[in-house]
Amino acid sequence: MTQYSAFRLFREGLRGHKGWGKAWRSPTLQRAYDVVIIGGGGHGLATAYYLARNHGIRRVAVLEKGWLGGGNTGRNTTAIRSNYFYPESAALYDLSVRLYEGLSKELNYNVMFSQRGMLVCAHSEHDMEMATRQYNAMRLNGIDAELLTREEIRKRVPILNVSDTARFPVHGGVNQPRGGTGRHDAVAWGYARAADRLGVDIIQNCEVQGFVMEAGRCVGVQTSHGEVRAGVVGAAVAGHSSVLGQLAGYDLPIHSYALQAFVSEPIKPVLDTVVLAPAYGTYVSQSDKGGLVLGGGLDRVPSYGQRGNMPVQEGVIGSLIEMMPALAKVKLLRHWGGIVDVTPDSSPILGPSGVDGIYLNCGWGTGGFKAIPAGGYLFAHLLATGQHTDISRPFDLSRFKTGRLVDESAASGIAH
């Protein structure tokens, strides 16, 4: 397997890029594994990598019904942050940000994590008080945060309309300097390549269609490539979590919705941070290629229809033009949707499913790209040991019975 480096890039450049090998194998499915992971998105692939790296478990298969990262991992707007309200969430998402900080080096794959900051605007005096509360909570949670005035925001994001004539004037905001963006495909591919190097079998175009049960325990899965035995099964299928639950016989508190995103034609650099304006319900950043990457709130109709639609498009684009009127003439390049798994408290589910032998990594909803390293790290620990760590325990499925929810829905900026 080729080690990537600046020297290698230079050498390949001189030879017409003909010497690059495949980044991972395409193995055939074996009859049995210690761990079978369903879903080749970021969470499934990261889990496989950490199983091999942290726990020495290498007889691992990742089964993906389509192609790697073809689910939400390749469809998201790549915002990475840990600006959460509750200590449980901050511990989880900041573990992720810290892992992202070293990820390109660890995986020998450039995931282009750019800590360009994540600014959440406040649009009224009352918003400003809530912003201060958010800032204080973040500082108490040990997360970097800055409370900015309107003047400071004007200087930092000159393209943002902060004038009194704006539809929703900007009074100030909270910034997380360590927040930013990454390259979504690279996160999936980087983990896939690193997991493959450690012996993990990644099987694409392989759909899980049923579970093999013996004496009340799941001992394998039925797939479009035949039956596979598994010591333990981990499901990381995002919007399709309930579909698997119905096959296996566990209940979930999840609604699947489409979440949409948009990218514009490439333009010269105009924005060097991520800006979320909650009153408008829109957030935007600019990619290294120059495209404006924007998104908004969830569709209001539960759905498995993986595509965009007009009501949200009108809302998001109308809002962008109010936020940054200079962009009114910019053309849209693409528009798409992904199916996200939304829980009642907008927090993920990590832990046993209720069916012996099956564990869950799901419920990330609209915000699980930022959590891929931590989700994989903690899920690998669960699958290897059957035990929670202190960071994953609050996110166990049992919280819906005990009532101890981690209710981030009100604190996450856009009310999803």
Partner 1 sequence: MQIFTCPFCGPRDEREFHFVAEQGKVRPDTTQSVSDADWAAYLHTQRNEKGRVREVWMHTTCDEVFVMERHSVSMEVLATTALRKEST
Ligand X SMILES: Cc1cc2nc3c(=O)[nH]c(=O)nc-3n(C[C@H](O)[C@H](O)[C@H](O)COP(=O)(O)OP(=O)(O)OC[C@H]3O[C@@H](n4cnc5c(N)ncnc54)[C@H](O)[C@@H]3O)c2cc1C
By CB under 6 A, name the binding residues for ligand X. Answer: 38-44, 63-66, 70-73, 75-79, 207-208, 236-238, 240, 244, 259-261, 295, 338, 340, 364, 366-370
Q: Which of residues 131-150 bind partner 1 (CB under 8 A)?
A: none
| Residue 114 DSSP label | B
Q: How far is the CB of 348 from ligand X (least distance, A)?
A: 8
CA atoms in the 13 A half-sphere facing the CB of 116: 20
Does position 209 interact with partner 1 (CB under 8 A)? The reply is no
How far apart are the C-alpha atoms of 139 and 148, rounded to whole Å? 14
Does position 254 interact with partner 1 (CB under 8 A)? The reply is yes
How far apart are the C-alpha atoms of 228 and 60, rounded to whole Å? 11
Cα 363 versus chain centre, distance: 11
Q: What residue type is assigned to position 380 of the chain?
A: A
How far apart are the C-alpha atoms of 98 and 41, rounded to whole Å? 20
Q: Which is nearer to ligand X, 161 or 241 (CB)?
A: 241
Q: How far is the CB of 199 from ligand X (least distance, A)?
A: 21
Q: How far is the CB of 177 from ligand X (least distance, A)?
A: 17
Q: How far is the CB of 226 from partner 1 (least distance, A)?
A: 24
Q: Which of residues 329-358 bind partner 1 (CB under 8 A)?
A: 344
Q: Which is nearer to partner 1, 269 or 403 (CB)?
A: 403
Nearest C-alpha neighbor of 62 from the set 80, 30, 40, 42: 40
- Residues in contact with 48: Cβ distance below 8 Å, sequence separation at least 6, in sequence order: 35, 37, 60, 62, 191, 195, 200, 202, 376, 380
Q: Output the CA–CA distances (angstroms, integers) from residue 259 to 33, 254, 269, 279, 416, in the order listed.
A: 34, 15, 26, 18, 10
Question: Which position has the token pair 């800032």?
Answer: 135
Does position 301 interact with partner 1 (CB under 8 A)? The reply is yes
Give the residue, chosen from 142, 158, 290, 305, that forms a contact with partner 1 under the rule CB under 8 A.
305
Kind plus residue range of the DSSP H or E element containing 130: helix 125-140
Give the CA radius of gyration of the chain.
21
Q: Which is nearer to partner 1, 197 or 255 (CB)?
A: 255
How far apart are the C-alpha atoms of 397 and 352, rounded to whole Å? 7
Q: How far is the CB of 152 from partner 1 (least distance, A)?
A: 37
Which partner, partner 1, ligand X, none, binds residue 207 by CB below 5 to 8 Å per kind? Answer: ligand X
Which partner, partner 1, ligand X, none, binds residue 214 by CB below 5 to 8 Å per kind? Answer: none
Which partner, ligand X, partner 1, none, binds residue 344 by CB below 5 to 8 Å per kind? Answer: partner 1
Listed ranges 24-32, 170-178, 228-236, 295-303: which one lies at the site for partner 1 (CB under 8 A): 295-303
Which partner, ligand X, partner 1, none, binds residue 402 by CB below 5 to 8 Å per kind? Answer: partner 1
Task: Look at residue 341 and give its three-state secondary structure.
Answer: strand
Does position 251 interact with partner 1 (CB under 8 A)? The reply is yes
Does position 98 interact with partner 1 (CB under 8 A)? The reply is no
Which partner, partner 1, ligand X, none, binds residue 63 by CB below 5 to 8 Å per kind? Answer: ligand X
How far apart are the C-alpha atoms of 272 and 156, rounded to whole Å? 9
Which partner, partner 1, ligand X, none, binds residue 400 by CB below 5 to 8 Å per kind? Answer: partner 1
How far apart are the C-alpha atoms of 407 and 24, rounded to whole Å? 39
How far apart are the C-alpha atoms of 47 and 233, rounded to whole Å? 12
The residue whose Cβ lies closest to ligand X is 41
Which residues contact partner 1 by CB under 8 A? 240, 242-243, 246, 251-256, 300-305, 309-311, 344, 400-403
